[in-house]
């Protein structure tokens, strides 16, 4: 039996009625068999400061690192602020990647999605891809999810109701599951060869 894939979802928006967080909830609802999506609340995470890292790291940072380390993959939802990544999400990635050489994101499979204006967070996602290169994250290429005209795609309770978008989210979670399993198999084969 194949082990389930645990995906950790991070939203770059702290707004109570955030559509990016709602998109993560839709991902949790639409995840294929063998995949669970847990969403982390980043509201209590302070800005990264090396002076309070290490033994003095805040509990929220320690918890985030532990959850990311235990996760098999990551799902990042970001609004686009000034053509770039929301600072809440960038801050979470900064905490997760430090101290240097101890990143819990190294080699982690990931997928990106977002709800935004006319370009649906495409510029923010491209910047996230650049950050992911340095962090050695393995971000899937397709399908890309840039949700535009958002008010008509979510109901008053914040549930994603647009069927084409729901289908795309389900496809992305399936692709992330398959990509994660492929990377896990590669790591297992490498470990087995090293042990011979």
- 3-state secondary structure at position 171: helix
Report in angstroms the alpha-carbon separations of 122 from 7, 61, 173: 22, 28, 19
- 3-state secondary structure at position 112: strand
- DSSP assignment string, 32-87: PTTEEEEEEP-TTPPPP-GGG-GGG--HHHHHHHHHHHH-SEEEEE--EETTEE-H
Quick one: pLDDT at residue 196? Answer: 75
Q: Mind listing the pLDDT tens digit for each residue in 87-135?
A: 999 999 999 999 888 999 999 999 999 999 888 899 999 999 999 999 9
Rounded CA-CA distance 47/165 in Å is 33
Q: Which strand (E) or helix (H) includes residue 191?
A: helix 163-195
Q: What is the mean pLDDT of the chain?
A: 95
CATH 1.10.357.10 corresponds to the domain 5-195? no
Quick one: pLDDT at residue 65? Answer: 97
Rounded CA-CA distance 74/136 in Å is 13
Quick one: pLDDT at residue 1? Answer: 66
Q: Mind listing the pLDDT tens digit for each residue in 56-89?
A: 899 999 999 999 999 999 999 999 999 999 999 9
Instruction: Considering only CA atoms, give the Rg of the chain.
Output: 17
Q: Is the dihedral of CA 160, 45, 71, 131 positive or negative?
A: positive
Q: How confident is the model at residue 17 (pLDDT cuts 50, 70, 90)?
A: very high
Rounded CA-CA distance 75/59 in Å is 22
Quick one: pLDDT at residue 188? Answer: 85
């Amino acid at each position: 039996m194949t082990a389930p894939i645990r995906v950790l979802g991070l939203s770059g928006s702290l707004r109570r009625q955030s559509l990016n967080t709602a998109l993560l909830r839709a991902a949790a609802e639409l995840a294929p068999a063998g995949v669970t999506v847990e969403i982390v609340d980043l509201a209590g995470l302070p800005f990264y400061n090396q002076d309070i890292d290490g033994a003095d790291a805040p509990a929220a940072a320690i918890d985030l690192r532990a959850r990311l380390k235990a996760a098999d993959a990551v799902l990042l939802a970001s609004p686009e602020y000034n053509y770039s990544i929301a600072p809440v999400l960038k801050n979470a990635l900064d905490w997760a990647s430090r101290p240097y050489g101890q990143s819990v994101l190294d080699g982690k499979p990931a997928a990106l999605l977002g709800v935004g204006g006319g370009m649906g967070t495409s510029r923010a996602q491209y910047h996230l891809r650049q950050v992911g290169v340095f962090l050695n994250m393995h971000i899937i290429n397709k399908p890309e999810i840039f949700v535009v005209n958002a008010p008509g795609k979510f109901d008053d309770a914040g549930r994603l109701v647009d069927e084409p978008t729901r289908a795309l989210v389900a496809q992305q979670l399936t692709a992330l599951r398959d990509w994660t399993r492929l990377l896990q198999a590669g790591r297992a084969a490498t470990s087995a060869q090293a042990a011979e």
